[in-house]
Amino acid sequence: MQLIKTFITRAHRVSFRVIAVVLSFISLAVLPVEFVMGAGQFVIGNLISVAPVVAVGLLVAAWVVATGAGSVAADAFQGRAFQAILIASAIGAVTPVCGITVLPLMSGLLVAGVPLAPVMAFWLSSPITDPAMLAATVAMLGLPMALGKTIVAFAMGVFGGAITHRLATRRWVMEPLRRRAALPGDQNTGSCAAAGFRAAFWRDPSRRRRFVVEIVSTGRLVLICLSFAFVAEYALKDLLPPNAMAAYVGGDTPWAIPLAVFVGSPIYLDGYAALPLVRGMIDLGMSQGAAMAFLVSGGVVSIWGAIAIFPVIQFKPFLLYLTIAVLGSLMAGYGYGFVVS
């Protein structure tokens, strides 16, 4: 199991770098010079415009990781069922949990005896947003979409946790882990947060290094993802007719939100990359409800998150997660579309 997790993590990193390099060379060799120059100016201008807001989010996210605030979640999950679900949903909505590290955190909580209901709530709410993602969403899609996405993250956790709690007497809910699931003490299964909470992290050299590493690594990821995403946005606006997207995901199209959920999730590569892509589709006629459904479903039905979790969690709990994620995404799309209309 450890070998599988290591392979998935390395394959994810290698594939991302390889794809980025290959696409860069192909673009420079094949695309017209005018397109490359226009895309470059578009990318630089948009990166400069969103930099101040994203920088604030990166600082907040790094502080949470360096101080160990994320480790407080394990203690908060203990207690009465619905209180634990509410706390888990709130923590998941504001805590930056890096993709693959959801795996050791979930397995550690479940092995420690935390019920599946609050873990499910955290599992559903955590991938949708975090401080850096909130800042980036404000910068590119506006404050209403950013706040709506945060509220949806919390509501998704409560919704999933409540359903799971109703099934608490089922054997597969009481024992959701596979028999050979990794224990929290295994190598390379640590959380991305420091152990213990210490607000004044700068007094500890190891926490200072963790703060710097988090800013550098997350900032690099955001820069790469946003750069390619802005290129995609530029190409989308350049290649698609103005009303092409409106025909499928426009405000008056009955299948706009289901299409955004079931077709949007597989092409959702990264939360930061999705923001400018969605902004481009909104400019081409995508409805606000479909945009929210796309962002939420892409976050909770991440292909890399599914690959990481499936070897550890049993099939029925995994299927329950996917079902709740799809239903919650549909409700988020319809609800947000109704509110802003």
Domain spans of the chain? 43-340
How does pLDDT run across 24-47, given as a tens digit for each residue? 666 666 667 777 788 888 889 888
Highest mean pLDDT among 184-198, 202-216, 324-338: 324-338
Indicate whether 289 pLDDT > 80.
yes
Span 75-123, pLDDT tens digits? 655 557 788 899 888 888 877 654 445 555 666 567 656 788 988 998 8
Instruction: Please provide the size of the chain in residues.
Output: 341
For residue 2, pLDDT over 90 is answered with no
Whether residue 67 contacts residue 201, with contact meaning beta carbons closer than 8 Å, is answered with: yes
pLDDT for 173-201, tens place per residue? 888 887 644 444 444 444 445 556 777 88
- Give the model's pLDDT for residue 5: 45
Using CA atoms, how far apart are residues 111 and 315, in angstroms rounded to an integer? Answer: 17
pTM: 0.66
3-state helix/strand/coil string of 201-230: HHHCHHHHHHHHHHHHHHHHHHHHHHHHHH
The SS3 of residue 313 is: strand
